Amino acid sequence: MEKKSLNRNRIAAVRFTAEEYGRLVKRLKGTDCRQMSEYLRKCILGMPITVKYRNASLDEMMLETIRLRKELNALANNFNQAVKKLHALRQIQEFRDWIMQSEAQRAALLEKVEEIQKVMEKTAGKWLQS
């Protein structure tokens, strides 16, 4: 049994205007095709093309959640360092300084938690309207 050669050695050239090419690239990015030639071959030969759909509101929420998570991690790290310092304190004055700093961190932490709640409420509102 002889194997069929899958080498592609025939070229068909097509010219596009800048606008047409931009539209083509935009459509390509919305599919699972890795290369332009793969996408064009599927279009021309009538093969099925898998199109990716994205939920813009979910993407927006994920970006905001990532940003807030980074900030919360930084706050948690600072708070952890402060607690470690508390265990190592030997003088009362240092303890008073730590209390003042921890109050500022506590206020910042509560502010970030409120911000998270607002983002979640905003996203939930968008989903309920859909």
**End-to-end C-alpha distance for the chain, whole angstroms:** 57
**Cβ pair 31, 39 in contact under 8 A:** yes
Q: Give pLDDT tens digits for 45-97.
A: 899 888 876 666 677 777 787 888 788 778 778 877 877 776 666 666 777 77
Model-level pTM?
Answer: 0.41
pLDDT at res. 6: 74
Q: Hey, what domains does the chain have and what are their CATH numbers?
A: 1-53 (no CATH), 56-129 (1.10.287)
**Cβ pair 49, 42 in contact under 8 A:** yes
